[in-house]
Protein backbone atom coordinates (compact mmCIF):
# COMPACT_ATOMS: atom_id res chain seq x y z
CA UNK A 1 0.00 0.00 0.00
CA UNK A 2 1.31 3.45 -0.86
CA UNK A 3 1.67 6.16 1.72
CA UNK A 4 -1.23 8.41 2.63
CA UNK A 5 -0.16 11.97 3.34
CA UNK A 6 -2.24 13.69 5.99
CA UNK A 7 -1.75 17.43 5.70
CA UNK A 8 -2.51 19.13 9.02
CA UNK A 9 -3.10 22.72 10.01
CA UNK A 10 -3.92 24.07 13.46
CA UNK A 11 -5.06 27.43 14.69
CA UNK A 12 -4.12 28.26 18.26
CA UNK A 13 -4.27 31.04 20.82
CA UNK A 14 -0.58 30.92 21.65
CA UNK A 15 2.83 29.49 20.73
CA UNK A 16 2.82 26.27 22.80
CA UNK A 17 0.21 23.78 24.02
CA UNK A 18 -0.70 23.65 27.70
CA UNK A 19 -0.51 27.31 28.63
CA UNK A 20 -2.35 27.94 25.35
CA UNK A 21 -5.01 26.02 23.44
CA UNK A 22 -5.47 24.53 20.01
CA UNK A 23 -8.60 26.25 18.74
CA UNK A 24 -9.06 24.47 15.42
CA UNK A 25 -7.65 21.45 13.60
CA UNK A 26 -8.00 20.80 9.90
CA UNK A 27 -6.60 17.83 8.03
CA UNK A 28 -6.70 16.55 4.47
CA UNK A 29 -5.66 13.04 3.47
CA UNK A 30 -4.03 12.72 0.06
CA UNK A 31 -2.72 9.83 -1.99
CA UNK A 32 -1.22 9.27 -5.41
CA UNK A 33 -3.37 7.15 -7.71
CA UNK A 34 -2.24 6.53 -11.30
CA UNK A 35 0.02 9.57 -11.22
CA UNK A 36 -2.79 11.82 -10.03
CA UNK A 37 -3.31 13.60 -6.73
CA UNK A 38 -6.40 12.33 -4.94
CA UNK A 39 -7.99 14.00 -1.92
CA UNK A 40 -9.32 11.02 0.02
CA UNK A 41 -11.05 12.82 2.86
CA UNK A 42 -10.92 15.93 5.03
CA UNK A 43 -11.43 16.46 8.75
CA UNK A 44 -12.16 19.58 10.73
CA UNK A 45 -12.99 20.35 14.34
CA UNK A 46 -12.90 23.31 16.70
CA UNK A 47 -11.81 22.82 20.29
CA UNK A 48 -12.99 24.26 23.57
CA UNK A 49 -10.04 25.96 25.28
CA UNK A 50 -8.04 24.09 27.89
CA UNK A 51 -8.91 24.79 31.53
CA UNK A 52 -6.59 27.51 32.85
CA UNK A 53 -5.10 28.24 29.42
CA UNK A 54 -5.03 31.81 28.16
CA UNK A 55 -4.71 33.72 24.90
CA UNK A 56 -1.16 34.91 24.31
CA UNK A 57 -1.25 38.70 23.80
CA UNK A 58 1.00 38.62 20.73
CA UNK A 59 -1.07 35.88 19.11
CA UNK A 60 -4.13 38.04 19.60
CA UNK A 61 -2.62 41.29 18.33
CA UNK A 62 -0.37 39.90 15.59
CA UNK A 63 -2.69 37.24 14.22
CA UNK A 64 -6.29 37.04 15.40
CA UNK A 65 -6.99 40.77 15.35
CA UNK A 66 -5.90 40.75 11.69
CA UNK A 67 -8.01 37.72 10.70
CA UNK A 68 -11.50 38.17 12.18
CA UNK A 69 -13.17 35.76 9.71
CA UNK A 70 -10.75 33.01 10.67
CA UNK A 71 -11.33 33.78 14.37
CA UNK A 72 -15.07 33.46 13.89
CA UNK A 73 -14.63 30.16 12.03
CA UNK A 74 -12.31 28.78 14.74
CA UNK A 75 -14.76 29.62 17.51
CA UNK A 76 -17.88 28.14 15.89
CA UNK A 77 -19.23 25.04 17.66
CA UNK A 78 -16.15 24.17 19.79
CA UNK A 79 -15.93 20.57 21.00
CA UNK A 80 -14.56 18.93 24.13
CA UNK A 81 -10.80 18.56 23.42
CA UNK A 82 -10.54 14.91 24.56
CA UNK A 83 -13.50 13.84 22.44
CA UNK A 84 -12.34 15.91 19.46
CA UNK A 85 -8.74 14.69 19.42
CA UNK A 86 -10.03 11.12 19.83
CA UNK A 87 -12.20 11.57 16.75
CA UNK A 88 -9.19 12.86 14.85
CA UNK A 89 -7.07 9.86 15.88
CA UNK A 90 -9.89 7.52 14.78
CA UNK A 91 -10.15 9.36 11.44
CA UNK A 92 -6.42 9.01 10.75
CA UNK A 93 -6.41 5.36 11.83
CA UNK A 94 -9.35 4.62 9.52
CA UNK A 95 -6.98 4.82 6.53
CA UNK A 96 -4.90 1.91 7.76
CA UNK A 97 -1.52 1.38 6.20
CA UNK A 98 1.17 4.00 6.12
CA UNK A 99 0.07 7.50 7.11
CA UNK A 100 2.51 10.39 7.06
CA UNK A 101 1.82 13.67 8.83
CA UNK A 102 2.67 16.66 6.61
CA UNK A 103 2.79 20.27 7.77
CA UNK A 104 3.95 23.76 6.90
CA UNK A 105 5.61 24.19 9.33
CA UNK A 106 5.32 20.67 10.67
CA UNK A 107 7.09 21.59 13.90
CA UNK A 108 4.27 23.91 14.99
CA UNK A 109 1.21 21.99 13.85
CA UNK A 110 2.54 18.57 14.88
CA UNK A 111 3.56 19.91 18.31
CA UNK A 112 -0.03 20.79 19.16
CA UNK A 113 -1.54 17.63 17.67
CA UNK A 114 0.99 15.34 19.36
CA UNK A 115 0.65 17.10 22.72
CA UNK A 116 -3.17 16.89 22.66
CA UNK A 117 -3.07 13.26 21.55
CA UNK A 118 -0.74 12.16 24.34
CA UNK A 119 -2.18 14.47 27.02
CA UNK A 120 -5.69 13.11 26.48
CA UNK A 121 -4.53 9.48 26.59
CA UNK A 122 -4.37 8.42 22.95
CA UNK A 123 -1.60 6.90 20.87
CA UNK A 124 -0.28 9.11 18.09
CA UNK A 125 -1.32 7.72 14.69
CA UNK A 126 1.84 9.34 13.26
CA UNK A 127 4.19 7.92 15.90
CA UNK A 128 6.36 10.91 16.81
CA UNK A 129 7.32 12.25 13.42
CA UNK A 130 6.08 14.57 10.70
CA UNK A 131 7.31 15.65 7.29
CA UNK A 132 7.99 19.37 6.97
CA UNK A 133 7.11 20.74 3.52
CA UNK A 134 9.70 23.53 3.66
CA UNK A 135 12.46 21.01 4.47
CA UNK A 136 11.32 18.83 1.58
CA UNK A 137 11.38 21.86 -0.74
CA UNK A 138 14.92 22.67 0.40
CA UNK A 139 16.07 19.22 -0.72
CA UNK A 140 14.11 19.26 -3.99
CA UNK A 141 15.27 22.75 -5.02
CA UNK A 142 18.76 22.19 -3.63
CA UNK A 143 18.51 25.54 -1.83
CA UNK A 144 19.37 26.50 1.72
CA UNK A 145 16.45 26.01 4.09
CA UNK A 146 15.94 29.76 4.68
CA UNK A 147 15.65 30.30 0.93
CA UNK A 148 13.08 27.52 0.49
CA UNK A 149 10.11 29.80 0.97
CA UNK A 150 6.89 29.96 -1.03
CA UNK A 151 8.10 32.99 -2.99
CA UNK A 152 11.01 30.87 -4.31
CA UNK A 153 8.84 27.90 -5.31
CA UNK A 154 7.69 27.43 -8.92
CA UNK A 155 4.13 28.67 -9.54
CA UNK A 156 3.19 25.32 -11.09
CA UNK A 157 3.33 23.69 -7.63
CA UNK A 158 0.63 25.88 -6.13
CA UNK A 159 -3.02 24.87 -6.09
CA UNK A 160 -5.64 27.48 -6.92
CA UNK A 161 -7.00 27.55 -3.35
CA UNK A 162 -6.80 30.76 -1.36
CA UNK A 163 -4.99 30.77 2.00
CA UNK A 164 -7.79 31.62 4.46
CA UNK A 165 -6.28 30.80 7.88
CA UNK A 166 -9.24 28.46 8.35
CA UNK A 167 -7.61 25.19 9.38
CA UNK A 168 -9.30 22.77 6.97
CA UNK A 169 -8.88 25.14 4.00
CA UNK A 170 -5.19 25.60 4.72
CA UNK A 171 -4.68 21.86 5.28
CA UNK A 172 -6.14 21.16 1.83
CA UNK A 173 -4.07 23.91 0.23
CA UNK A 174 -0.75 22.82 1.71
CA UNK A 175 -1.55 19.14 1.12
CA UNK A 176 -2.16 19.80 -2.59
CA UNK A 177 1.06 21.84 -2.71
CA UNK A 178 3.03 18.98 -1.16
CA UNK A 179 1.50 16.37 -3.46
CA UNK A 180 2.30 18.47 -6.53
CA UNK A 181 5.93 18.72 -5.41
CA UNK A 182 6.09 15.02 -4.54
CA UNK A 183 4.64 13.86 -7.85
CA UNK A 184 6.93 16.09 -9.88
CA UNK A 185 10.01 15.15 -7.88
CA UNK A 186 9.31 11.42 -7.91
CA UNK A 187 7.71 11.09 -11.35
CA UNK A 188 10.01 8.23 -12.34
CA UNK A 189 9.28 6.33 -9.14
CA UNK A 190 5.53 5.80 -9.66
The answer to the question of residue 56 being in a domain is yes
Number of domains in the chain: 1
CATH number of the domain that residue 112 is part of: 3.30.420.10
Per residue in 93-143, pLDDT (tens digit) is 999 889 999 999 999 999 999 999 999 999 999 999 999 999 999 999 999
The answer to the question of residue 105 being in a domain is yes
Q: 105, 150, 113, 110: which is closest to 132 by C-alpha?
A: 105
The pLDDT of residue 2 is above 70 = yes
pLDDT at position 160: 82
The answer to the question of residue 88 being in a domain is yes
Chain centre distance of CA 131: 10
Burial 117-141 (b: 16+ CB within 10 A, else e): beeeebebbbeeebbbbbebbbebe
Q: Residue 41 belongs to what domain range?
A: 4-185
Q: 189, 169, 128, 158: which is closest to 7 by C-alpha?
A: 169
The answer to the question of residue 190 being in a domain is no
Average pLDDT over the chain reads 94
Amino acid sequence: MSEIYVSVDVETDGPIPGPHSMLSLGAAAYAERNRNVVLLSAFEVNFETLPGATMHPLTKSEFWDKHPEAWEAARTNPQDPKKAIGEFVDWVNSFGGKVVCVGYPATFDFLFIYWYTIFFGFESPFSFSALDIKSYVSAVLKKPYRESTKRNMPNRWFPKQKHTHIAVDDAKEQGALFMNILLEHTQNRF
